[in-house]
Structures are given as structure tokens and as C-alpha cells.
Amino acid sequence: MSYEPRREDKFSFGVWTCANRGRDPFGEATRPSMDPFYIIRKLGSLGVWGISLHDNDLIPIDASAAERDRLVSEFRKTLADAGMVTAAATTNMFYDPVFKDGGFTSNDGRVRSYSIQKVMNAIDVGAELGADTFIFWGGREGTEVDFSKDHIDSVKRYRDALNFLCNYVKDQGYNMRFSLEAKPNEPRGDIYFPTTGALLGFIATLEYPEMVGVNPEVAHELMANLNCCHVYAQCMDAGKLFLVHLNSQKYARYDQDLRFGSEDIQGSFAMVHLLETHGFDGAREYDAHPYRTEDEAGVWEFVKGCMRNYLILKEKAAQFEADAEVRQIREANNGACALWDSVAGGYSGDKAKAIKAEDYDIGAMAQRGLGYERLDQIACEILMGVR
């Protein structure tokens, strides 16, 4: 396998990832800025399928209508020339000081209604660029001081905002769905809906739950001390995994946004294995940053590394699936049982009686070792390249 990305791999990058200039809370930018058109052309030449962008990745917050129109049409043309698509669009509701206490959950009704205006404008941009998914990452929605807001009002306001915006999309006749992204903290002390599970519960309370899904990000799930692979699995079962935000993260740190596969290789492997063996058809989007130490060449190394690591892990996943010993261990563990099949087939009083009447020898059932030490060692050896 050449590990050369192809459009069919559906790799996507947030424009903001490559545009990141290495600024951090302790230091200034270390790289000059790159314009979004240049970034797209470069990503296209590296085999990337799509991009995502915030309104202000392209259009300055104070741009005139004419300037906005010019930038959007130039962007559309650049994308088409590069043979790429817009995987998702989103709104920057975190950078400008007006959002210092949140957008949809600000205590100030004018900030909340300005947020609706900004999102509607960004949805229009997304629709013009052909995006069928619109991301909501509410990084400023939350608190440092828990007595500063009525949190139940905050949940209601978030719901009112999303319901209003779903109706706006329908009203405009756009083909667009919403994707919510969880993060426990940073930049706020505590962000509302800190986990994907919290979002899934919230989505069920919306006016059009079928229009709304999630895009869990690896680093955000790890910051919440969760297993991202399990998170993806639950979202896939619910039909809610619209896209994934891939990156890497060391355990128990601030949001590091590292190149995908550069940390926790086994965790990354488990995710790729899940997505690939279940034929996930959404965007594999990278939301990460090149190290602050890098110049422009390092930015493109970062881009190539994210995709290459995914493709290597995809190959390893196929090798793992084809491994005869792996199959043997699985077969030995997958005990068939007609009584269980009857459970999966739905309830009946007779089935309940039959299960109750069965004599289970739990001592015998518990006796056999399951071979997971061996299974994990096989995975390790495949990943370390010696099998």
C-alpha cells in the first residue's frame, strides 16, 4: 500500500488548522499568515478531499457585503479548480470579545440575537459553498462562575437557538444538517454539554432531532477521560456520527490538537478499525495544529502525517481482521445461544419463561480464559510492525 491519500478516503481539514500560526497563551505567532485560497490549493495537491471553514476563516467579521460576495465566489472557484468540496461550515462564536460570556447562552439578549444573525449569515455562506453539514462548537457557552447564569435557562436558550436555526435552514430550502461538537472545558472553565453523550441527550429534545448529529473530537473526549472509540460507536449506532474530528492528545492535558496518530497509537488504531470495519461514510476531518516550532514546510508535513497515519492504521486494521489467530480467538469466545437469539428477536411471555427455566452452570461458564492477553499482544505486534 502506498499510503497516498485519494479523494475517496474523504479526508478533510479545517482551514483553521493550517492557518494556525502557533500563537499560544504564552507566546506570539511563530509563522506568517497563509491565505485560505493558498491553503486550499495546497491541500488539494496533497490529495485532500474536503475542507471545513468558519465564516471568519474567509470573511473578516467587519467585511462589507460586496467584500463578502467577492470572497465567497473566489473561494467557490478555488475549491472547484482544486477538485475539492466543502465538508462542513461553521461560525466563529468564540474569538470576538462580544462572545466573552457565550453566544446563545449569554445573559445579554442582544448578544444572543446577534449570534443568531451571525450563524444565519454563516449558514448562507456554507450553503453557497455547497456544505451539507454545519458545525456548532460552543466553546464560549459556559461559565467560570456557576452563579453567573441560570443553567436551566442556558439549556433552554441553546435549544431555542438551534430550533430557530433548523427552521431557518428549512425555510431557505437548504440541504443542510447540524453537527454539534462537545468539549468539557477550554476556553471556558466549564463548557455546556461537555460530552457527546450530553449532546445526544439534548438532541432528542429538539424540534427536528433528525436534522442534528455530532462530530466528536478525539482530544475533547480524552480531556473528559472517555474512550473516543466507544463514543464513536454509540453515535454510529444512533445514526448520529455525521463526521469525526481526528487528532491526538496526551492524557490529562489542556487541548493539544496533535497530529493524528502521534500519540496513543493503540487508541487511534481502535478508532480507525471501528470506522473502517463498519464502513463509516462521513468525512474523516482533521482538527489539529502543527507544532509551534514549525515553518510552512512543517505545516504540510503535519497535513501529510495526519493522513498517512490514518492510512497506515487502516492497513493494520485490515491485517488484524484477516489474522487467523485473531479469528480463532474470536470464534472461541463467540458462543452461540438460541435463548439469546430469542431475546434479540423481541419479547414474548413464552421466551421469558424459557429463559427463566434454563439451568445455567455459571461456574462452568466463568471457567474458560478468554485469550485477550494474546489478542492485545497480536494487535501490539501488528502495530509495531513485527507480525
* Residues lying near ligand GLT in the complex (CB under 6 A): 16, 54, 90, 135, 137, 181, 217, 245, 287
DSSP structure string for 296-359: HHHHHHHHHHHHHHHHHHHHHHHHHHH-HHHHHHHHHH----HHHHHHHT---HHHHHHHHH--
In the list Mn ion, ligand GLT, none, the entry touching 135 (Cβ below 5 to 8 angstroms by class) is ligand GLT
In the list ligand GLT, Mn ion, none, the entry touching 16 (Cβ below 5 to 8 angstroms by class) is ligand GLT
Residue corresponding to grid cell 466543502: 86
Question: What is the smallest separation between the CB atom of 92 and ligand GLT, expressed in angstroms?
Answer: 7
Q: Which residues pair with 213 in a beta bridge?
A: 179
For the chain, give me the number of helices (H) and strands (E)? Answer: 16, 10
Provide the b/e sequence for 92-129 (b: ≥16 CB within 10 Å): bbbeeebbebbbbbbeeeebbebbbebbeebbbbbbbb
Nearest CB to ligand GLT, comparing residues 106 and 316: 106
Question: What is the smallest separation between the CB atom of 345 and Mn ion, expressed in angstroms?
Answer: 40
In the list ligand GLT, Mn ion, none, the entry touching 140 (Cβ below 5 to 8 angstroms by class) is none
Nearest CB to Mn ion, comparing residues 122 and 317: 122
Nearest CB to Mn ion, comparing residues 149 and 268: 268
In the list Mn ion, ligand GLT, none, the entry touching 221 (Cβ below 5 to 8 angstroms by class) is none
Nearest CB to Mn ion, comparing residues 170 and 253: 253
Count other C-beta atoms under 10 Å from residue 240's C-beta. 21
Residue ranges binding Mn ion (CB under 5 A)? 217, 245, 287
In the list Mn ion, ligand GLT, none, the entry touching 90 (Cβ below 5 to 8 angstroms by class) is ligand GLT
Helix (H) or strand (E) holding 35: none
In the list ligand GLT, Mn ion, none, the entry touching 314 (Cβ below 5 to 8 angstroms by class) is none
Question: What is the smallest separation between the CB atom of 137 and Mn ion, expressed in angstroms?
Answer: 6
Nearest CB to Mn ion, comparing residues 229 and 378: 229
Question: What is the smallest separation between the CB atom of 230 and ligand GLT, expressed in angstroms?
Answer: 20
Q: CA separation (Å) from 240 to 91, 172, 181, 210, 219?
A: 21, 23, 12, 9, 19
Question: What is the smallest separation between the CB atom of 181 and ligand GLT, expressed in angstroms?
Answer: 5
> Which residue's Cβ has the minimum distance to ligand GLT?
137
Question: What is the smallest separation between the CB atom of 12 and ligand GLT, expressed in angstroms?
Answer: 12
Q: Annotated active-site positions, please?
A: 54, 57
Residue corresponding to grid cell 489474522: 323
269 contact partners, CB below 8 Å, separation of at least 6: 313, 316, 317, 379, 383
Q: Which residues pair with 284 in a beta bridge?
A: 11, 244
Nearest CB to ligand GLT, comparing residues 177 and 245: 245
Quick one: cell of 256? Answer: 493539544
Q: Quick check: 10 and 49 in contact, CB under 8 A?
A: yes
Q: Which amino acid is at 259?
A: R
Question: What is the smallest separation between the CB atom of 91 and ligand GLT, expressed in angstroms?
Answer: 8
Residue 221 sits at the vertex; the CA angle it makes with 219 and 226, to the nearest 5 degrees, is 130
Count other C-beta atoms under 10 Å from residue 312's C-beta. 19
Nearest CB to ligand GLT, comparing residues 5 and 184: 184
